[in-house]
Amino acid sequence: MKDEWDVIVIGGGHAGIEAALAARRKGCSVVLISATINRIGEMSCNPAIGGIAKGTIVREIDALDGSMARSADATTLHFRMLNRRKGPAVWGPRVQSDAAEYASVQQLYIENSGVEILEDEVTSLDGLTEKVTGVRCRKTGSIKGKTVVLAVGTFLKGRLFRGDELWKGGRIGDISADSLEKDIVKRMFHVERFKTGTPPRIIRSTVNTEEMEVQPSEVTDFTFSYGKSRQRDKEEVCYITHTNRSTMDIAKKNLHRSPLMAGRIEGTGPRYCPSYEDKVVKFPDRQRHRIYVEPMGCESGFFYLNGLSSSLPREAQEKMVRSLPGFGSAEISDYGYAVEYSYFHFSEIDDTLRLKKTENVFVAGQICGTSGYEEAAGLGVIAGANAGRTAQSLEAMSLSRMNSYIGVMIDDIVNKGADEPYRMFSSRAENRLHLRQDNADRRLYKTADMFGILSGEKRDLLTGNMKEAEIIRNVLEREMVDGVPLSKWCRRVGVSAEKAIAATNSLVDKDEKVLMSVILDEKYSGYIDRNLRRYESRRNLEKISLREIGSFMDIDEICWEAREVLERRKPETLAHAEKLAGVRPTDLQGLLIYLGRQRSTWNNSSPELVRSE
Ligand SMILES: Cc1cc2nc3c(=O)[nH]c(=O)nc-3n(C[C@H](O)[C@H](O)[C@H](O)COP(=O)(O)OP(=O)(O)OC[C@H]3O[C@@H](n4cnc5c(N)ncnc54)[C@H](O)[C@@H]3O)c2cc1C
């Protein structure tokens, strides 16, 4: 074990893995500490990666050279492109993965990367909060590190619930990080409670799939990863069944035994991913809810019941499951449960994912208030890259929300926060026609390069894609079809890569995927340009730094409500201030007047530029 590590990553979940790998690609020495190393990369809930907007995050992670896309490709059993009925801008690739194999492949990436793996429980940070010196572990004692990434998921004071049962844990069979939470609270970090839950798993041989609708996998050559990725060689079908009157009656009869309804869980859960008992309460007239029956792996003995998350007592879960068509004799292997856990309030985190009270602690994943593997992994790459940069005395970087879903997510979390576990939706991105799954490689090429986290192989691949796109763009601008430039012709409804190739010989040898992506740029160019113009005018506000302001409470030019909000949130730029609830346009004007007057006093004639990509 080294005397001092550049980066210590706590947690081997989706966030911790990407953080450790990104810091390693940055050239840092990295140790990843996980409470149970054989559960590194585990899918705690559903065996699936991607979906609407989430699938685009996975492609962005790949553009930043993370591992999630390649592991999902290698372990895919079932593929669907969601939202196909809508435009390609909001298509969402989603795969069903072999859960056990996915974790093994992720573990291999870590093992082969040169990241040191340590099985231990971190019980506290070491050193002063402003600048920690490392972490303290239950068995190993103190470990020194220049920077720390906290990626401990649902484990901070994790409490698991099922009916009247209550026990400690971050997920079933795992520890609860009570000591670490105590240390975090003692250091005066503002933490709050969220909850989430999971459905029962069913023994496959006890289910009659003939009574269910079959959902086959789509035939496609899609891979999440740009370039060569191991494509799936196995396939599974999924099934669809529905709840009915009887399922609803059983849940209703047992509602008083639900830990949530009985008030024993106080944390807020995800509205978009409710438990079955939540659905029964919120939609009392709706008996029929769709349940996706998903295999946990290739020829796995278990089914996951997507849509039947529950923390009702075991006997109620058994009855509910057996009321479903095809499940009359079903046996449950693992019962559903809910987990309540602590997460960092958004006011603690800056846009580089650093905890503001510290110089060198970064956070990623569910402890930032997000939900989902993809969100966690996306944050992990950025936290790991910035921890690496900080360890190397480089400035940490932030992403623009105009250029990636990961940027949208970080901007939303650190500026607005979330009153429920944050999940990415395409509606959250004002520039979503640009933030497509087909162009993540080109969108993030510059960012990945600036972070310094691309391996040589990935850089070559992405550089090749960039060049190919440039050549295609030149052809589109140069050539004419039907009397109009090819670039304008491409905007017509129904023009595809195939049609463009048929229209001109100059495109015959071009990569069809890159060609289609460039054609989509053309089709959406009007909207994208308009969005960029709006954004540019807002960026001017981002250039105006508020860092020199000691106290907002003394600024007479702004109203009291705004003073209190600004003092509490300490925005770094005028653009940050603009986003805060309680700050009005007149307050921004007031701040500008105040800054203009103070500038001579501070002898700071040009406003400091904030970091951005
Ligand atoms: C029961 C349950 C239900 C869920 N349901 C959903 C859902 O319906 N939809 C959804 O989108 N997401 C759901 N999730 C969340 C999903 O699992 C997470 O979003 C995702 O796994 C977060 O990744 P992460 O890397 O932040 O944390 P995790 O994957 O939870 O990984 C945390 C890691 O930290 C390690 N660790 C924790 N504390 C310590 C410590 N003190 N010392 C050392 N190591 C430590 C753990 O061992 C683990 O490796 C659910 C999670 C659970 C547990």
What are the beta bridge partners of residue 165? 162
Range of the domain at 565: 543-602
Examine the pLDDT at 436 and tell me if it is beyond 90: yes
Q: Note whether 441 and 503 are same-domain residues.
A: no
Model pLDDT, residue 609: 32
What is the H or E stretch that residue 106 is in?
Answer: helix 99-113
Q: Looking at the domain assignment, is residue 538 inside a domain?
A: no
Q: Note whether 268 and 345 are same-domain residues.
A: no
Sheet containing 332-334: give its strands across. Answer: 213-215, 238-242, 290-295, 302-306, 201-203, 332-334
Q: Note whether 440 and 498 are same-domain residues.
A: no
Examine the pLDDT at 364 and tell me if it is beyond 50: yes
Mean pLDDT for 464-483 is: 94
Among 403-412, 533-542, 565-574, which stretch is predicted with the lowest mean pLDDT? Answer: 533-542
How far is Cα 248 from Cα 266, in angstroms, rounded to an integer? Answer: 24
Q: Note whether 560 and 592 are same-domain residues.
A: yes
How far is Cα 604 from Cα 549, in angstroms, rounded to an integer? Answer: 12
Nearest CA to ligand 1 atom 13: 372
Q: Note whether 216 and 330 are same-domain residues.
A: yes
List phi, psi (to 5°) of 526.
Answer: -60, -50
Indicate which CATH number applies to the domain containing 76: 3.50.50.60
Neighbours of 276 (CB within 10 A): 26
Q: Note whether 320 and 422 are same-domain residues.
A: no
Examine the pLDDT at 604 and tell me if it is beyond 50: no
Mean pLDDT for 163-182 is: 96
Q: Note whether 60 and 142 are same-domain residues.
A: yes
Q: Looking at the domain assignment, is residue 173 inside a domain?
A: no
From residue 399, alpha-carbon distances to 7, 362, 386, 405, 437 in Å are: 21, 15, 11, 10, 17
Q: How far is the CA of 373 from the centre of ligand 1 (A)?
A: 8
Mean pLDDT for 403-419 is: 90
Q: Looking at the domain assignment, is residue 404 inside a domain?
A: yes
Q: Note whether 148 and 8 are same-domain residues.
A: yes
Which is nearest to 317 in space by CA: 240, 253, 238? 253
Model pLDDT, residue 600: 59
pTM: 0.89
Helix (H, G, I), strand (E, B) or coil at 132: strand
Mean pLDDT for 32-43 is: 97
Q: Note whether 147 and 22 are same-domain residues.
A: yes
Query: Which of the 8 DSSP states describes residue 353?
Result: S
How far is Cα 558 from Cα 575, in angstroms, rounded to an integer? Answer: 16
Would the CA dihedral through 274, 280, 284, 289 be positive or negative? positive
Q: What is the pLDDT of residues 17-31, one digit of tens each?
A: 999 999 999 999 999
| Long-range contact set of residues 304-308: C-beta below 8 Å, sequence gap at least 24 | 304/46, 304/47, 304/199, 304/201, 305/199, 305/200, 305/201, 305/202, 306/46, 306/48, 306/199, 307/199, 307/276, 308/199, 308/200, 308/243, 308/276, 308/336
Please, which residues have CB within 8 angstroms of residue 592's CB and are 6 or more apart in sequence? Answer: 544, 574
Q: How far is the CA of 16 from the centre of ligand 1 (A)?
A: 10
Given 421, 451, 481, the domain boundary residue is 451
Q: What is the pLDDT of residues 71-98, one digit of tens each?
A: 999 999 999 999 988 888 889 999 999 9
Would the CA dihedral through 580, 581, 585, 589 be positive or negative? negative
Q: Note whether 488 and 569 are same-domain residues.
A: no
Examine the pLDDT at 312 and tell me if it is beyond 90: yes
Nearest CA to ligand 1 atom 20: 373
Examine the pLDDT at 475 and tell me if it is beyond 80: yes
**pLDDT above 90 coverage of the chain, percent:** 74
Measure the CA angle with vertex 325, ends 321 and 326; round to 5°.
85
Given 401, 417, 451, the domain boundary residue is 451
Q: Note whether 503 and 559 are same-domain residues.
A: no
Q: Are strands 337-344 and 332-334 parallel, antiparallel or unpaired?
A: unpaired
The pLDDT-based confidence of 221 (bands split at 50, 70, 90) is confident
Q: In the structure, which protein residues have their CB atom closer than 6 angstroms to any atom of ligand 1?
A: 10-16, 33-36, 40, 44-45, 121-122, 151-155, 170-171, 177, 180, 196-198, 273, 339, 365-366, 371-373, 376
Instruction: Quote the number of domains for the chain.
Output: 4
How far is Cα 567 from Cα 40, in angstroms, rounded to an integer? Answer: 41
Nearest CA to ligand 1 atom 10: 372
Q: Note whether 261 and 123 are same-domain residues.
A: no
From residue 456, alpha-carbon distances to 61, 116, 227 in Å are: 16, 22, 14
Q: Looking at the domain assignment, is residue 20 inside a domain?
A: yes
Q: How far is the CA of 27 from the centre of ligand 1 (A)?
A: 27
Which is nearest to 370 in space by CA: 424, 439, 432? 424
Mean pLDDT for 145-156 is: 98
The pLDDT-based confidence of 587 (bands split at 50, 70, 90) is confident
How far is Cα 370 from Cα 350, in angstroms, rounded to an integer? Answer: 15
